[in-house]
């Protein structure tokens, strides 16, 4: 008879139910419910005795969930209903008072905001560990020479420390992005009710304080429809995963026989089932490959939210799986990246050999001409000619004779050979943010300061 009592179609149930994944909200839901119940009692909306029973019941439910003995029933559409159902089984009808002045719409937004906040803190911790690892590695490889690349072509030599620290700053910006997620989750949605507010004189600020929110969402319609903080988390996670992918990709490349710049520990690599000589840098490959999955989750949620009318729509239930998977993926990748870097071995000789390719001193030779008054553009052309001639004649730059040099670039003299001899191309990069050791030391000091501030 009553259309709300008809049994639900099982396929619809399968589509509609979120309990299979939203159980992850349980710790936040329980904490939120406690705060809400206390507020109801303080505001004389429920009796102190009701509160006592609800507190006792919620503690029992928590024990069941933590002890893995919580049984989900077929009718439990989502975690929120499952907890309330179980609470009522334990304490009786008074359990039904918990949902006074609350809707699942403001409830779920609050749980998700709490979860995003907690995992933004976790991401911060993990990023700091990774950044500290990079600083340590940079310190240990301060003056190890290697080629710097553009277009994956040897461009100018740099120190390995400088190269590693480049990632430090990328992860530092990720840290700032996760920091912003703390701001994005600072307004409590709870108390907005289904969408319009509630019919009781509640104290939202009390709940906010209990749960660690800085304030309350000012507009009830916005409160229940807002998932910006999930987008913010996913955006931070996507960029962070992309940085991890770039790092992983370089380690894969550097682990090849062709490069031979590094070797990852056995714990992070695999052998081939067929070819006994192989050692594959699997961990780094997977760091490389995980990024698009996280980026995909960001795009998915944008798709869900796009065009969505106010306020709560069931579509919003689709925020959870992308978020949860992004959290798991990025946290796992951050852990593995730090561990893998802690045990990586670099090959000083191979890197130095690649860096001593004289052709990568071409910019320095051009600058020598510039210091003699030749306009840079012209110097660039002259040195290009010298390099081409050397390549054609199968010679290194320093193997060109003085006669050849006089013919190719009369503006160059003996200093040309000194410059190639000196291997001074790195130490000459003294501009701020450059690769000269003095500048890398400055950079290390800055990086350590960033870590100190982040820990404070």
Between 6 and 345, CB nearer to ligand ARG: 6
Between 22 and 250, CB nearer to ligand ARG: 22
What are the residues whose beta carbons fall under 8 Å from the beta carbon of 399, sequence distance 6 or more? 390
Which residue among 105, 185, 202, 329 contacts ligand ARG (CB under 6 A)?
105
Minimum distance from CB of 28 to ligand ARG (Å)?
A: 13
Exactly one of 272, 302, 343, 398 is catalytic; name it: 272
For the chain, what's the residue count?
A: 456
Site string for ligand ARG, 305-324 (x = CB under 6 A): -------x---xx-------
Rounded to an integer, what distance in angstroms lies between the CA atom of residue 299 and that of residue 322? 10
What are the residues whose beta carbons fall under 8 Å from the beta carbon of 86, sequence distance 6 or more? 61, 64, 70
Active site residue 272: yes
The residue count for binding ligand ARG (CB under 6 A) is 9
Query: Which among 101-109, 118-126, 348-356, 370-378 is the span making contact with ligand ARG, rule CB under 6 A?
Result: 101-109
Exactly one of 151, 273, 306, 431 is catalytic; name it: 151
Between 67 and 309, CB nearer to ligand ARG: 309
Between 316 and 327, CB nearer to ligand ARG: 316
Which residue among 61, 65, 108, 188 contacts ligand ARG (CB under 6 A)?
108
HEC per residue, 219-240 = CHHHHHHCCHHHHHHHHHHHHH
- Phi then psi for residue 270, to 5 deg, are -130, 165
Query: Which among 43-51, 102-110, 240-248, 389-397 is the span making contact with ligand ARG, rule CB under 6 A?
Result: 102-110
Minimum distance from CB of 153 to ligand ARG (Å)?
A: 51
Which residue among 31, 78, 84, 364 contacts ligand ARG (CB under 6 A)?
78
Under 8 Å between Cβ of 148 and 435: yes
Q: Counting contacts by CB under 6 A, is residue 26 touching ligand ARG?
A: no
What are the residues whose beta carbons fall under 8 Å from the beta carbon of 188, sequence distance 6 or more? 110, 113, 204, 207, 208, 211, 213, 215, 216, 217
Query: Which among 100-108, 199-207, 288-296, 327-335 is the span making contact with ligand ARG, rule CB under 6 A?
Result: 100-108
Q: Counting contacts by CB under 6 A, is residue 104 touching ligand ARG?
A: yes
Q: Counting contacts by CB under 6 A, is residue 29 touching ligand ARG?
A: no
Under 8 Å between Cβ of 26 and 76: no
Q: Counting contacts by CB under 6 A, is residue 18 touching ligand ARG?
A: yes
Site string for ligand ARG, 178-207 (x = CB under 6 A): ------------------------------
Place of tokens 């992004």: 326
DSSP state of 308: P
Minimum distance from CB of 18 to ligand ARG (Å)?
A: 4
Site string for ligand ARG, 264-303 (x = CB under 6 A): ----------------------------------------
Q: Taking Cα atoms as reference points, which of 80, 81, 103, 111 lies closest to residue 188? A: 111
Q: What is the DSSP string of 7-52?
A: PPPHHHHHHH--HHHHGGGHHHHHHHHHHHHHHHHHTTSS-HHHHH
Rounded to an integer, what distance in angstroms lies between the CA atom of residue 260 and that of residue 444? 26
Active site residue 424: no
Rounded to an integer, what distance in angstroms lies between the CA atom of residue 62 and that of residue 410? 84
Minimum distance from CB of 22 to ligand ARG (Å)?
A: 6
Rounded to an integer, what distance in angstroms lies between the CA atom of residue 264 and that of residue 251? 8
Rounded to an integer, what distance in angstroms lies between the CA atom of residue 6 and that of residue 80? 21
Give catalytic residue positions: 151, 272
| Contacts with ligand ARG, residue ranges (CB under 6 A) | 18, 22, 78, 104-105, 108, 312, 316-317
């Amino acid at each position: 008879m009553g259309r709300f009592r008809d049994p639900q179609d099982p396929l619809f149930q399968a589509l509609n139910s979120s309990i299979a994944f939203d159980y992850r909200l349980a710790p936040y839901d329980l904490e939120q419910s406690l705060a809400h119940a206390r507020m109801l009692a303080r505001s004389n909306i429920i009796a102190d005795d009701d509160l006592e029973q609800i507190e006792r019941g919620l503690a029992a439910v928590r024990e069941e969930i933590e002890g893995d003995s919580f049984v989900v029933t077929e009718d439990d559409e989502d975690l929120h209903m499952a907890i309330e159902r179980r609470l009522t089984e334990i304490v009786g009808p008074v359990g039904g008072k918990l949902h006074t002045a609350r809707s699942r719409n403001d409830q779920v937004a609050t749980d998700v905001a709490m979860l995003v906040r907690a995992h933004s803190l976790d991401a911060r911790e993990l990023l700091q560990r990774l950044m500290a690892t990079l600083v340590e590695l940079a310190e240990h490889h301060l003056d190890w020479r290697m080629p710097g690349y553009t277009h994956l072509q040897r461009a100018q030599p740099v120190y390995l420390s400088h190269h590693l620290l480049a990632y430090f700053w990328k992860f530092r910006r990720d840290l700032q992005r996760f920091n912003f997620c703390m701001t994005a989750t600072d307004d409590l949605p709870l108390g907005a009710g289904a969408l319009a507010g509630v019919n009781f004189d509640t104290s939202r600020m009390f709940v906010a304080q209990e749960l660690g929110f800085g304030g309350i969402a000012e507009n009830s319609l916005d409160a229940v429809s807002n998932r910006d903080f999930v987008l913010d988390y996913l955006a931070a996670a996507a960029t962070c995963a992309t940085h991890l992918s770039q790092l992983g990709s370089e380690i894969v490349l550097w682990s090849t026989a062709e490069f031979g710049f590094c070797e990852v520990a056995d714990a992070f690599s695999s052998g081939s089932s067929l070819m006994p000589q192989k050692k594959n840098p699997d961990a780094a490959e997977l760091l490389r490959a995980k990024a698009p999955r996280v980026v995909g989750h960001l795009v998915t949620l944008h798709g869900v939210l796009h065009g969505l009318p106010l306020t709560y729509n069931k579509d919003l239930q689709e925020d959870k799986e992308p978020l949860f998977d992004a959290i798991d993926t990025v946290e796992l990748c951050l852990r593995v990246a730090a561990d893998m870097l802690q045990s990586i071995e670099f090959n000083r000789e191979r890197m130095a050999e690649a860096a001593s390719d004289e052709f990568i001193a071409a910019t320095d030779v051009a600058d020598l001409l510039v210091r003699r008054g030749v306009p840079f553009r012209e110097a660039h052309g002259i040195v290009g000619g010298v390099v081409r001639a050397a390549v054609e004649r199968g010679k290194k730059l320093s193997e060109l004779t003085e006669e050849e040099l006089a013919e190719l670039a009369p503006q160059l003299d003996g200093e040309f050979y000194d410059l190639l001899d000196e291997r001074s191309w790195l130490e000459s990069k003294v501009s701020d943010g450059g690769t000269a050791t003095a500048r890398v030391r400055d950079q290390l000091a800055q990086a350590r300061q960033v870590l100190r501030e982040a820990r404070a």
